[in-house]
Amino acid sequence: MIQVMSMLVYNADVKNWYTGTISQSDLKNVCVPGLNCYSCPGAVASCPIGSIQNTIANGRFPFFITGFLMIIGALFGRMICSYACPVGLIQELLYKIPVKKFRKTKKSRAVTRKLSLLKYAVLIILVIALPLSLYFKDGAGSPVFCSWVCPAGTVSAGIPLVILNESLRSAIGFLFDWKIILAGILIILSTFMFRPFCRFVCPLGAIYSFFNKSAVFGIKIDEKKCTHCGACAAVCKMDTLLVNDRECIRCGDCLESCHFKALHF
Protein backbone atom coordinates (compact mmCIF):
# COMPACT_ATOMS: atom_id res chain seq x y z
CA MET A 1 0.00 0.00 0.00
CA ILE A 2 2.82 2.41 0.85
CA GLN A 3 4.42 1.72 -2.54
CA VAL A 4 1.15 2.47 -4.36
CA MET A 5 0.68 5.69 -2.40
CA SER A 6 4.24 6.77 -3.23
CA MET A 7 3.68 6.19 -6.94
CA LEU A 8 0.43 8.17 -6.86
CA VAL A 9 2.04 11.06 -4.99
CA TYR A 10 5.01 11.14 -7.38
CA ASN A 11 2.62 11.28 -10.38
CA ALA A 12 -0.18 13.41 -8.95
CA ASP A 13 -0.56 15.74 -11.97
CA VAL A 14 -3.23 13.40 -13.39
CA LYS A 15 -4.53 15.58 -16.23
CA ASN A 16 -1.31 15.15 -18.21
CA TRP A 17 -1.96 11.42 -18.58
CA TYR A 18 -4.92 12.37 -20.77
CA THR A 19 -3.34 15.25 -22.70
CA GLY A 20 0.00 13.55 -23.37
CA THR A 21 1.98 16.51 -22.03
CA ILE A 22 4.69 16.67 -19.37
CA SER A 23 3.79 18.20 -16.02
CA GLN A 24 5.16 21.69 -15.46
CA SER A 25 4.74 21.49 -11.70
CA ASP A 26 6.73 24.01 -9.63
CA LEU A 27 8.08 21.03 -7.69
CA LYS A 28 10.11 19.94 -10.71
CA ASN A 29 13.01 21.82 -9.07
CA VAL A 30 13.16 19.21 -6.29
CA CYS A 31 13.57 15.43 -6.31
CA VAL A 32 11.54 12.54 -5.04
CA PRO A 33 13.54 9.88 -3.16
CA GLY A 34 12.69 7.03 -5.56
CA LEU A 35 13.26 6.47 -9.27
CA ASN A 36 10.50 8.28 -11.17
CA CYS A 37 11.18 9.85 -14.56
CA TYR A 38 10.97 13.65 -14.88
CA SER A 39 9.23 13.14 -18.23
CA CYS A 40 6.45 10.92 -16.91
CA PRO A 41 3.31 12.90 -17.88
CA GLY A 42 2.05 13.15 -14.30
CA ALA A 43 5.40 13.49 -12.52
CA VAL A 44 5.23 16.46 -10.14
CA ALA A 45 8.94 16.41 -9.22
CA SER A 46 12.27 15.24 -10.61
CA CYS A 47 14.17 11.95 -10.49
CA PRO A 48 17.41 12.12 -8.46
CA ILE A 49 19.39 10.12 -11.01
CA GLY A 50 18.18 12.28 -13.90
CA SER A 51 18.96 15.41 -11.90
CA ILE A 52 22.50 14.23 -11.12
CA GLN A 53 23.17 13.54 -14.79
CA ASN A 54 21.72 16.78 -16.08
CA THR A 55 23.67 18.82 -13.55
CA ILE A 56 26.93 17.07 -14.43
CA ALA A 57 26.13 17.33 -18.14
CA ASN A 58 25.96 21.12 -17.70
CA GLY A 59 29.36 21.25 -16.06
CA ARG A 60 28.18 21.75 -12.48
CA PHE A 61 28.64 19.67 -9.36
CA PRO A 62 25.27 18.33 -8.07
CA PHE A 63 25.58 19.81 -4.56
CA PHE A 64 21.87 20.00 -3.77
CA ILE A 65 21.03 16.53 -5.12
CA THR A 66 24.05 14.96 -3.41
CA GLY A 67 22.99 16.51 -0.10
CA PHE A 68 19.41 15.35 -0.59
CA LEU A 69 20.50 11.76 -1.29
CA MET A 70 22.85 11.78 1.69
CA ILE A 71 20.02 12.86 4.00
CA ILE A 72 17.59 10.27 2.61
CA GLY A 73 20.27 7.59 2.67
CA ALA A 74 21.32 8.41 6.23
CA LEU A 75 17.71 8.16 7.37
CA PHE A 76 16.44 5.16 5.40
CA GLY A 77 19.18 3.47 3.35
CA ARG A 78 17.65 1.10 0.82
CA MET A 79 14.32 1.09 2.61
CA ILE A 80 13.41 3.64 -0.09
CA CYS A 81 13.76 0.85 -2.67
CA SER A 82 11.24 -1.24 -0.77
CA TYR A 83 8.62 1.37 0.09
CA ALA A 84 9.02 4.51 -2.04
CA CYS A 85 10.13 3.51 -5.54
CA PRO A 86 7.56 2.99 -8.34
CA VAL A 87 10.01 0.86 -10.35
CA GLY A 88 10.30 -1.53 -7.41
CA LEU A 89 6.50 -1.73 -7.17
CA ILE A 90 6.13 -2.59 -10.86
CA GLN A 91 8.73 -5.35 -10.56
CA GLU A 92 7.03 -6.84 -7.50
CA LEU A 93 3.67 -6.88 -9.27
CA LEU A 94 5.25 -8.63 -12.26
CA TYR A 95 6.85 -11.17 -9.91
CA LYS A 96 3.39 -12.12 -8.66
CA ILE A 97 2.50 -13.51 -12.11
CA PRO A 98 2.14 -17.28 -11.57
CA VAL A 99 5.06 -18.64 -13.62
CA LYS A 100 7.91 -20.88 -12.56
CA LYS A 101 10.54 -18.78 -10.80
CA PHE A 102 14.30 -19.06 -11.04
CA ARG A 103 15.40 -21.60 -8.48
CA LYS A 104 17.42 -20.17 -5.60
CA THR A 105 20.50 -22.24 -4.78
CA LYS A 106 23.83 -21.60 -3.13
CA LYS A 107 25.46 -21.40 -6.57
CA SER A 108 22.82 -19.06 -7.99
CA ARG A 109 23.19 -16.78 -4.97
CA ALA A 110 26.94 -16.55 -5.57
CA VAL A 111 26.26 -15.59 -9.19
CA THR A 112 23.62 -12.97 -8.38
CA ARG A 113 25.83 -11.44 -5.70
CA LYS A 114 28.54 -10.91 -8.29
CA LEU A 115 26.06 -9.57 -10.84
CA SER A 116 24.73 -7.13 -8.23
CA LEU A 117 28.04 -5.26 -8.49
CA LEU A 118 27.03 -4.16 -11.99
CA LYS A 119 24.88 -1.35 -10.60
CA TYR A 120 27.99 0.31 -9.15
CA ALA A 121 29.56 0.26 -12.60
CA VAL A 122 26.35 1.77 -13.99
CA LEU A 123 26.52 4.53 -11.37
CA ILE A 124 30.19 5.35 -11.98
CA ILE A 125 30.25 5.01 -15.77
CA LEU A 126 26.79 5.87 -17.12
CA VAL A 127 25.57 8.31 -14.47
CA ILE A 128 28.81 10.18 -13.69
CA ALA A 129 31.77 9.50 -16.00
CA LEU A 130 30.14 9.55 -19.44
CA PRO A 131 28.04 12.73 -18.92
CA LEU A 132 31.14 14.42 -17.51
CA SER A 133 33.42 13.28 -20.33
CA LEU A 134 30.90 14.40 -22.95
CA TYR A 135 30.76 17.80 -21.28
CA PHE A 136 34.55 18.16 -21.43
CA LYS A 137 34.58 16.96 -25.04
CA ASP A 138 31.66 18.92 -26.52
CA GLY A 139 30.83 21.55 -23.92
CA ALA A 140 27.49 19.86 -23.30
CA GLY A 141 26.96 16.44 -21.77
CA SER A 142 24.08 14.00 -21.97
CA PRO A 143 22.04 12.06 -19.39
CA VAL A 144 23.40 8.75 -20.70
CA PHE A 145 21.67 6.42 -18.24
CA CYS A 146 18.27 8.08 -18.74
CA SER A 147 18.66 8.22 -22.52
CA TRP A 148 19.98 4.72 -23.14
CA VAL A 149 19.03 2.45 -20.23
CA CYS A 150 16.42 3.56 -17.70
CA PRO A 151 13.19 1.52 -18.05
CA ALA A 152 11.20 4.03 -15.98
CA GLY A 153 11.62 6.61 -18.71
CA THR A 154 10.55 4.08 -21.33
CA VAL A 155 7.53 2.52 -19.65
CA SER A 156 6.06 5.48 -17.81
CA ALA A 157 7.21 8.35 -20.04
CA GLY A 158 8.28 7.31 -23.53
CA ILE A 159 5.47 4.89 -24.34
CA PRO A 160 2.57 7.05 -23.02
CA LEU A 161 3.90 10.19 -24.70
CA VAL A 162 4.40 8.43 -28.04
CA ILE A 163 0.91 6.92 -27.90
CA LEU A 164 -0.71 10.28 -27.13
CA ASN A 165 1.36 12.47 -29.47
CA GLU A 166 1.25 11.85 -33.21
CA SER A 167 4.20 14.20 -33.77
CA LEU A 168 6.38 12.07 -31.50
CA ARG A 169 5.38 8.85 -33.27
CA SER A 170 6.88 10.15 -36.51
CA ALA A 171 10.13 11.04 -34.72
CA ILE A 172 10.94 7.75 -32.99
CA GLY A 173 13.92 5.78 -34.21
CA PHE A 174 16.69 3.43 -33.11
CA LEU A 175 17.04 4.83 -29.57
CA PHE A 176 13.35 4.32 -28.80
CA ASP A 177 13.42 0.80 -30.26
CA TRP A 178 16.55 -0.01 -28.23
CA LYS A 179 14.95 1.13 -24.98
CA ILE A 180 11.77 -0.80 -25.74
CA ILE A 181 13.89 -3.95 -26.12
CA LEU A 182 15.70 -3.30 -22.82
CA ALA A 183 12.46 -2.56 -21.00
CA GLY A 184 10.90 -5.72 -22.46
CA ILE A 185 13.82 -7.83 -21.24
CA LEU A 186 13.54 -6.40 -17.73
CA ILE A 187 9.77 -6.90 -17.69
CA ILE A 188 10.14 -10.55 -18.70
CA LEU A 189 12.96 -11.13 -16.19
CA SER A 190 10.84 -9.57 -13.44
CA THR A 191 8.23 -12.29 -13.83
CA PHE A 192 10.86 -15.00 -13.17
CA MET A 193 13.26 -13.19 -10.83
CA PHE A 194 12.65 -10.85 -7.89
CA ARG A 195 13.52 -7.20 -8.71
CA PRO A 196 16.25 -7.75 -11.34
CA PHE A 197 16.55 -4.02 -12.09
CA CYS A 198 17.00 -3.15 -8.41
CA ARG A 199 19.56 -5.89 -7.90
CA PHE A 200 21.72 -5.56 -11.00
CA VAL A 201 21.17 -2.17 -12.66
CA CYS A 202 19.72 0.60 -10.51
CA PRO A 203 22.29 3.33 -9.68
CA LEU A 204 19.96 4.86 -7.08
CA GLY A 205 19.97 1.58 -5.16
CA ALA A 206 23.76 1.61 -5.41
CA ILE A 207 23.88 5.07 -3.78
CA TYR A 208 21.51 4.15 -0.96
CA SER A 209 23.39 0.91 -0.29
CA PHE A 210 26.38 2.91 1.00
CA PHE A 211 24.19 4.02 3.94
CA ASN A 212 22.54 0.68 4.69
CA LYS A 213 24.54 -0.32 7.76
CA SER A 214 24.27 3.05 9.48
CA ALA A 215 20.80 4.35 8.46
CA VAL A 216 18.60 5.57 11.31
CA PHE A 217 15.47 3.67 10.28
CA GLY A 218 15.34 0.05 9.16
CA ILE A 219 15.70 -3.44 10.56
CA LYS A 220 17.79 -3.65 13.71
CA ILE A 221 19.51 -6.72 15.09
CA ASP A 222 19.48 -7.55 18.79
CA GLU A 223 22.98 -9.02 19.06
CA LYS A 224 22.15 -10.56 22.43
CA LYS A 225 19.45 -12.71 20.83
CA CYS A 226 21.02 -13.32 17.40
CA THR A 227 22.63 -16.75 16.98
CA HIS A 228 23.87 -16.06 13.42
CA CYS A 229 21.92 -19.08 12.16
CA GLY A 230 21.40 -17.52 8.71
CA ALA A 231 17.63 -18.05 8.61
CA CYS A 232 17.06 -14.39 7.70
CA ALA A 233 19.40 -14.56 4.70
CA ALA A 234 17.90 -17.88 3.59
CA VAL A 235 14.45 -16.36 2.99
CA CYS A 236 15.71 -13.11 1.43
CA LYS A 237 14.65 -12.63 -2.20
CA MET A 238 17.44 -10.08 -2.68
CA ASP A 239 20.09 -12.69 -1.83
CA THR A 240 21.52 -10.76 1.10
CA LEU A 241 24.23 -12.39 3.16
CA LEU A 242 23.31 -10.43 6.30
CA VAL A 243 20.50 -8.14 7.39
CA ASN A 244 21.39 -4.56 6.36
CA ASP A 245 24.12 -5.55 3.92
CA ARG A 246 24.30 -3.67 0.60
CA GLU A 247 21.47 -5.67 -1.01
CA CYS A 248 19.01 -5.47 1.91
CA ILE A 249 15.98 -3.31 1.08
CA ARG A 250 14.45 -3.62 4.59
CA CYS A 251 11.27 -5.24 3.23
CA GLY A 252 10.70 -7.12 6.49
CA ASP A 253 10.32 -10.63 5.02
CA CYS A 254 13.06 -11.85 7.32
CA LEU A 255 11.32 -10.86 10.56
CA GLU A 256 9.11 -13.94 10.79
CA SER A 257 11.98 -16.25 9.85
CA CYS A 258 13.90 -15.36 13.01
CA HIS A 259 12.96 -17.89 15.67
CA PHE A 260 14.88 -15.97 18.33
CA LYS A 261 13.06 -12.63 17.80
CA ALA A 262 16.36 -10.88 17.22
CA LEU A 263 15.07 -8.66 14.38
CA HIS A 264 12.78 -5.68 14.64
CA PHE A 265 11.98 -2.44 12.75
Q: Give the tens place of pLDDT for each residue, 45-99.
A: 999 999 999 999 999 999 999 999 999 999 999 999 999 999 999 999 999 999 9
> Is there a contact between 192 and 99 (Cβ–Cβ < 8 Å)?
yes
For residue 189, give every residue at least 6 positions away whose Cβ sits within 8 Å of its Cβ, in sequence order, or none: 196
Helices (DSSP H) in the chain: which residue ranges? 2-10, 16-19, 48-57, 63-76, 79-83, 86-95, 106-115, 118-121, 130-138, 144-148, 151-153, 159-164, 166-169, 174-192, 196-200, 203-209, 231-234
**Residue 69 pLDDT:** 97
pLDDT of residue 162: 87
- Model confidence pLDDT, tens digit, residues 189-248: 999 999 999 999 999 999 999 999 999 998 999 888 989 888 888 899 998 988 999 999
Tell me the residue length of the chain: 265
pLDDT over 90 at 164, yes or no: no
User: What gap in Å lies between CA 261 and CA 21, rounded to an integer?
Assistant: 51
pTM to 2 decimal places: 0.93
d(CA 90, CA 87): 5
What would the pLDDT profile of 95-133 be if each residue is shown by its tens digit?
A: 999 999 998 888 888 999 999 999 999 999 999 999 999
Q: 171 pLDDT exceeds 80?
A: no
**pLDDT in the model for residue 191:** 97
Mean pLDDT, all residues of the chain: 92
Structure confidence at residue 145 (pLDDT) = 96
Residue from 88, 111, 71 nearest 208 by CA: 71
Rounded percentage of the chain residues whose pLDDT exceeds 90: 63
